[in-house]
Structure 1
Amino acid sequence: MSDNKDIHWLCRPATIKKLWVIGIAILVITVALEFTIHPHAYFGVDGWFGFNAWFGFLSCAAMVLFAKFLGIFLKREDTYYDDK
């Protein structure tokens, strides 16, 4: 499987790099657009520069950490279904 044509196009290293570059470019553009758009803040903090970007990142990180913490209590043994 040394030929890149055998690998699905989303799994190719060149495609992964391009997707990362495109994603980061979109994020940079959306944050940079805050220079041209006046936010109508309902609270004081949501008017800060880049609020949506860092709030989204922190919310996603909190959900991942909560899922890891929840997994401690909900996980089963590897042989859970073999015992029955």
Structure 2
Amino acid sequence: MTELLRRAISQIEKLPEAEQDAIASRLLAELEYERLWQDKFGATKDEQWDILAEMVRQEIVVGETKALEDFFCFKLLSQVLRIFLVS
């Protein structure tokens, strides 16, 4: 177990049982979701990726795409990317 997880569990242990159960339920649901996502992602065939890539290329050509900056604050996005790149 990592030190970060130990610290989190230590804090959770101080909460009332109902809150502990709520956090545990969310964590278990997240783990299940991640497992399902990995199963689906891992089962994706090269041909499916090729089809998806071609669809994206066509959307770019006809101008159906938008820059990420149109959806996200660029400053926030760059901060998030720094977090992931440093981690």
TM-score range, shorter chain: 0.3 to 0.5
TM-score (norm 2): 0.37
Higher relative contact order (CA 8 A, sep 6+): 1
Q: More helix by proportion, 1 or 2?
A: 2
Task: Indicate the structure (1 or 2) with the bigger Cα radius of gyration.
Answer: 1
TM-score (norm 1): 0.38
